[in-house]
Every structure is written in C-alpha cells, then in structure tokens.
A and B are shown apart, each in its own frame.
Chain A
Amino acid sequence: MRGSGKNAVLMVFTHSPYGSSLAGAGLDAALASAAFEQPVDLLFIGDGVLQLQSKQDNQALKIKHMGKVLASLPLYGIDRVYVDAKAVSRYQLDLDASLLATEALEPDKMHKLMVDYDHLLSF
C-alpha cells in the first residue's frame, strides 16, 4: 500500500476484459499515468479478475490482447496489483500461471486497502 496523504490512486477494475471498452480505457489510463511518473496501484474485483486470465488468445479476432497489455505493467513501475480472492476461486483462475504477480484479498482486506488511498478510480 502506498498510504494516504500522497495523492495515492487505486484503480478499481470490475468488468471483464472484452465485454466493454472499460478494461481497455482503464488500462490506458494506468499506463498513461505511470508514463508521467504517477504510478497507480490496481485492484481487480468481481468480473474484473477475468482480465488476469492467462489463456486469452486474440489470434482469431484482430483485437488488442488485454492480458498482454497487463503484462507490461511492471515495466511502467506498476507492481502493486491486488485481486478479489473470492472471484478468483469462483472463476477457478490459476493466479500462479497469471500474467503478473498479484496478491489475493478477502472482502474485509479489500475494503481496508481501498480506504488507504486518497482516490479511487472505477473502471
């Protein structure tokens, strides 16, 4: 956690990667922010955890591979990534095979994390 008082931003993703343009817009915002030395931390809740599915394959459809974009986050200095533990087990995601290192949290811990930031951005 980055702690409050430093204009810390937590981006909260609650939607699946391809069901809407939200995931893409949120990722763009995170990358742009980090490119300007304003790194953000990320939290994936509910369907948002589906963005971490490691077996995404965009070969058949020529659209941007969201998982690959996610994998570039550490290069931008974004390395605090949290996920909704319940949703991960609900969708049977294998986080060990995931695209980037994450920390799984139960609801109470997620709430505690959220109130530690100055701003929440929901995507």
Chain B
Amino acid sequence: MILHTLNASPSSAAFQDCLSLLHAKDALVLLGDGVYAAVAGTHAYEALQGSPARVHVLLSDALLAGVNPNVQGIVPIDMEGLVSLTENFPRQQAWY
C-alpha cells in the first residue's frame, strides 16, 4: 500500500513514473500542477482511469487551477481528507 502524491503536470516525467507504479490498494492524490491530470477527456485522465489505484484530487488546488474536481472516477478531498489519507497509509511516495 503506497500513498502517491503527484505535484507535477501530466506532461512531466514525474507523471509517467508515477503512472507505472500505481497498483491496486494504492491511492493517488493529485495536487499542485498534478490537478491537470483530472481534466476529463485528456490522455492523462484516461490513463488514470485505466489504473487500479484510487484517485483523488485536492479540492482547493483544482478550484484554483480552474479544473472541475467533480469528474467520474476521481474523488475530491480537502486538506483534512489528505491528512487522514497520510495517516492511513504507512508509506508515501511524492512525485514532483
């Protein structure tokens, strides 16, 4: 079980590295420039839909970027939700 955080745009190497290491029981939180991977219909979004991991987007960052946080397959969370995720996952991998 790994909690991944992605703080880099979908065109980054970080996104590709992260994508290849998402497994079932993992969770991914999109934050900072990572929120652009939540734009429905994009390659990045489709790629994430194809991954077995649970995907979240940080609400405040999505709203700031003008990205709709309420899209199918992605669960928006607030800062409190992010904190409780970090408590539930023993290890965290930051992609940036």
Contact = CB atoms under 8 A, between A and B. Distances in A.
Do the two chains touch directly in the complex (Cβ atoms below 8 Å apart)? yes
Interface of A: 12, 14, 45-47, 84, 86, 107, 110-111, 114-115, 117-120, 122
A122 B23 contact: no
Chain B interface size range: 10 to 19
Contacts of A114: 2, 21, 91, 93
A22 to B, nearest CB: 9
A115 B93 contact: no
Interface string B65-96: 00000000000000000000000001111111
Given A86-B20, A115-B1, A115-B2, A47 B13 contact: yes
Given A86-B20, A111-B21, A122 B93 contact: yes
